A and B are shown apart, each in its own frame.
Chain A
Amino acid sequence: MKKQSLTKRWEDILYLSPGIVVLGLIFIIPLCYAIGITFVRWTLIRPELGIVFVGLQNYVNILKDPFTYEVLGRTMVFLICAVIIEMVLGMVIATVLNWGYRGHSLLQSICLIPFMMAPIVVGFTWRFLLNNTFGPIPRLLQSIGLESWVSLPLLANPHTVMLVLILVDVWQFTPFVVLVVLAGMKALPTEPFEAATVDGATSWQRFRHITLPLLRSSLLVALVMRTLTALRVFDTVSIMTGGGPGSSSEIISFYGYRLAFQSYEMGLAGTVGILTMLLALGLTVVYLRRVGVES
């Protein structure tokens, strides 16, 4: 009996082994590699200098550089503003779409369009929409008496560029939150709502005390996913601003890219990548503890 169970166990491991190998190839090995290069100085454009082990020097250099904190600050502003707006707006839109009036399916499909677009297309589209010569948005702002807002292009103004990037992110990714929350709403049991209605609860009370707590898991998924993806927003920043004007829109993903493919400092770029991963991990743990405990 024991022998049979042991054979079965080996058999299970063998069945799983292709999956484990694939996982190792596409996840664990690259991760180890990414961590490994943070301990070396490797200048891609000077391969003759070799790959030199420097211990924790890359971490020290990155953490000592005041620019890192500037970039981190900007990233956090972007992340917090974009994710909060997306969560609130996504919740509102999902609630409206869940009412089930005529044509709501069509509306749902239309709402999803921005999320289906490639970020690079979103970048070019918004760059055009915001162009002071050809774009409709500056003209609209001018026509309602807000000329001073667009005397300098919104993307070239250090005071407005982050706001624009946040709004573009909200435009593109709110549909994702809608999708997740709406799926959660559709799966809610009807009994608690019926009971609350019989007990005389108002719509707000039903929403506050039944819908929201029951949606906690869906909201957590949306929150974690959006936080992780907002941390690695790159395409729209690269297309729309290139990190400028100056460094007003340089966020952490773009900083990592610049170190890797403009300075070709692979060790430093890897370090920024690992720090970004740690930040994402930290935020996820906080979310799970704060929001996810009961669900």
Chain B
Amino acid sequence: MRKNKCIRGIFLVLIMLVFPVMVIIAGGAQEAVESDPLQLVSERGTHTEAWKTQMEAFESESGVDLEITQHPYANYFDQLMLSYTSGQNEYDVPYISLLWYPTLANAGYIQPLNDFVDADATLPEDMPGLQSASLDGDIYFIPYMNEVGGIVYRKDLFEDETEKKNFKAEYGYELTPPKTLEQYEDIAAFFHRPPELYGVTLMGKRSIFLATHFMNRLWAHGGNLLDDDFEPVFDSEIGVKSLEEVKDFFAYTNPAAYSYDFQEALTEFKMGKSAMAELWTTAMFHVDDPEGSQIVGKASFVGFPKPADAGDEKRPRLFISWGFAISDACERKEEALDWIAHATASDALAEAAPLGTIPARISAMNDADLIAELPWIPAFQEALDTCIPTPIVPLIPEGMSIVNGFVAPMVSEFISGNGSAEELLAGAAASTRELLEQNGYY
């Protein structure tokens, strides 16, 4: 009896000891991992795969070890935010979307990188994305890749002599990649021969992708989401016109496009089922990938067109950029800056580009070897040169909430026939105003 009691006592003490010890070990293990290599964090995407190829060379040149954590794009931002808000400070160098840095900078999670830009006087001109990378005069984001919203089109169809002849006979002008919105619609109508070929591919699923179709048109017509005082201004005549145009363009799509997301739209275009697709430039990498495309080498890119009456005036075009930031809690800023300098050097950008990224530097885009490998790069550069590169969401912390939470559902409601353009735009603008008012913008 006494022996049993003794055994029970020992067992009890063990239980009481083991539990806290396990907790301490678990905490300590994490502590140990956090110190050594410089911690990079990114999404799982083609451009990350491109810069990952530069890591080994940097490690051997600098003697600094790098370690990367990758999250699926769908929950990367949430993971990053949770990591920062919980104070874990796991990451030194986050690779982020241009759209995210205002939130992170405002919250004090990332630090200014002015030294990096100041060290190279040619950088602002060579790296157009830097124009959108500053907040209150401080640079927080060093672009690695650029993209412009526009149209990928079937070069082989546009160059086909019979198609050209027929188009001219029908519309009275030459078939070329669309330079105006009017041409864009004519060409979409001309090639719309369902079910073999559709005029254009759009993305109709309720998402930020659908919102891009509205934003492309809103900017092309000279509109904007917010004015300089952060007042929503998209519930204007231009807004109505742009929204109606989005709906009208679905007449030239496969009916299935109403439920498409980016991947499905891309698949349709890669299968050669449409003459044009309203995507952005990195779609070209997928189109030219022989593994999954039936139109390898048969496509090119053109920036999103403007209305004919806009003439040569520069108007905003959807601009997407991903790049590097440095966490505020990073204690090895010099090493982090060295890595960023290495990855964003012109030759490194040009070398990595064919793996799935469009260089953030003009000097890299002019690389002859790169142009030989990616012949559509000059078309991309022209699209960039002829516009005001504009991020899809306003560069304020609430930007994503406005586009994801109000604009995308509004466009989705409209194309599915749930309300008038005026009502829906007014509703989205009112919600936007309410949010910004609550957050102290007025």
**Among B8, B107, B416, which residue has its beta carbon within 8 angstroms of that of A46?**
B107
Name the residue on A nearest B435 (C-beta): A263
Interface members, chain B 39-94 (any A CB < 8 Å): 78, 81, 85
Chain A residues within an 8 Å CB radius of B261:
242
Give the total of A residues in contact with B, Cβ under 8 Å: 38
Interface flag for A18 (CB, 8 Å) = yes
Q: Is the CB of B256 within 8 A of A153?
A: yes
Of the candidates B12, B256, B401, the one having the most CB atoms from chain A within 10 angstroms of its own CB is: B256
Interface flag for A119 (CB, 8 Å) = no
The secondary structure that dominates the B interface is helix
Q: In whole Å, how far is A74's beta carbon from the nearest beta carbon of chain B? A: 14
Q: Is the CB of B268 within 8 A of A152?
A: no
Interface members, chain A 1-39 (any B CB < 8 Å): 11, 14-15, 17-18, 21
Q: In whole Å, how far is B1's beta carbon from the nearest beta carbon of chain A? A: 12
Given contacts A45-B107, A45-B398, contact A244 B439 (CB under 8 A): no
User: How far is A5 from B388 in the complex, measured between Cα atoms in Å?
Assistant: 81
User: How far is A14 from B17 in the complex, measured between Cα atoms in Å?
Assistant: 12
Given contacts A245-B415, A262-B405, contact A18 B19 (CB under 8 A): yes
Q: Is the CB of A14 within 8 A of B259?
A: no
- A123-153 interface bits toward B, Cβ cutoff 8 Å, 1 = contact, 0 = none: 0000100111100000000000000000111
**Among A17, A153, A263, A264, which residue has its beta carbon within 8 angstroms of that of B258?**
A153
User: How far is A258 from B108 in the complex, measured between Cα atoms in Å?
Assistant: 24
Q: Is the CB of B256 within 8 A of A248?
A: no
**Among A11, A48, A127, A131, which residue has its beta carbon within 8 angstroms of that of B12?**
A11
Q: In whole Å, how far is A51's beta carbon from the nearest beta carbon of chain B? A: 11
**Among B12, B81, B107, B412, which residue has its beta carbon within 8 angstroms of that of A245?**
B412
Q: Is the CB of B413 within 8 A of A247?
A: yes
Q: In whole Å, how far is A145's beta carbon from the nearest beta carbon of chain B? A: 18
**Among A15, A43, A46, which residue has its beta carbon within 8 angstroms of that of B15?**
A15
Q: Is the CB of B405 within 8 A of A246?
A: no
Interface flag for A158 (CB, 8 Å) = yes
Chain A residues within an 8 Å CB radius of B405:
258, 262-263
Q: In whole Å, how far is A214's beta carbon from the nearest beta carbon of chain B? A: 42
Interface flag for A44 (CB, 8 Å) = yes
Chain B residues within an 8 Å CB radius of A133:
254, 256, 268, 273
Interface flag for B204 (CB, 8 Å) = yes
Interface flag for A243 (CB, 8 Å) = yes
Q: Is the CB of A17 within 8 A of B397?
A: no
Interface flag for B197 (CB, 8 Å) = no
Of the candidates B8, B398, B412, the one having the most CB atoms from chain A within 10 angstroms of its own CB is: B412
Interface flag for B440 (CB, 8 Å) = yes
Chain B residues within an 8 Å CB radius of A195:
none
**Among B19, B205, B256, B401, which residue has its beta carbon within 8 angstroms of that of A21?**
B19
Given contacts A47-B107, A133-B273, contact A246 B416 (CB under 8 A): yes
Q: In whole Å, how far is B439's beta carbon from the nearest beta carbon of chain A? A: 6
Q: Is the CB of A11 within 8 A of B404?
A: no
Q: Is the CB of A246 within 8 A of B413?
A: yes
Q: Is the CB of A248 within 8 A of B416?
A: yes
- B204-220 interface bits toward A, Cβ cutoff 8 Å, 1 = contact, 0 = none: 11110000000000000
Interface flag for B32 (CB, 8 Å) = no
Q: In whole Å, how far is B436's beta carbon from the nearest beta carbon of chain A? A: 11
Q: Is the CB of A263 within 8 A of B106?
A: no
User: How far is A23 from B103 in the complex, measured between Cα atoms in Å?
Assistant: 35
Given contacts A132-B255, A241-B206, A242-B207, contact A45 B81 (CB under 8 A): yes
Q: Is the CB of A246 within 8 A of B418?
A: yes
Chain B residues within an 8 Å CB radius of A94:
none
**Among A132, A243, A262, which residue has its beta carbon within 8 angstroms of that of B401?**
A262
Given contacts A133-B254, A153-B259, contact A49 B440 (CB under 8 A): yes
Interface members, chain A 143-172 (any B CB < 8 Å): 151-153, 155-158
**Among B15, B85, B416, which residue has its beta carbon within 8 angstroms of that of A156?**
B416
Interface flag for B16 (CB, 8 Å) = yes
Chain A residues within an 8 Å CB radius of B85:
44, 47
User: How far is A244 from B204 in the complex, measured between Cα atoms in Å?
Assistant: 10
Name the residue on B nearest A41 (C-beta): B438
Chain B residues within an 8 Å CB radius of A207:
none
Q: Is the CB of B206 within 8 A of A244?
A: yes
Of the candidates A49, A133, A152, the one having the most CB atoms from chain B within 10 angstroms of its own CB is: A133
Interface flag for A69 (CB, 8 Å) = no
Interface flag for A53 (CB, 8 Å) = no
Q: In whole Å, how far is B44's beta carbon from the nearest beta carbon of chain A? A: 15
Q: Is the CB of B417 within 8 A of A131?
A: no
Q: Is the CB of A246 within 8 A of B12?
A: no
Q: In whole Å, how far is A242's beta carbon from the nearest beta carbon of chain B? A: 4
Given A48-B108, A158-B416, output 8 extra A-B contacts at Cβ < 8 Å. A11-B8, A44-B85, A45-B401, A241-B206, A245-B416, A245-B418, A246-B206, A261-B78
A-B contact pairs, 18 of them (CB 8 A): A21-B19, A43-B439, A44-B81, A45-B103, A45-B106, A46-B107, A47-B107, A130-B259, A132-B254, A132-B256, A133-B273, A151-B255, A241-B206, A242-B261, A246-B409, A246-B416, A264-B81, A264-B401
A-B interface, 3 closest residue pairs, ranked by CB to CB distance from nearest: A244-B206, A132-B256, A156-B258
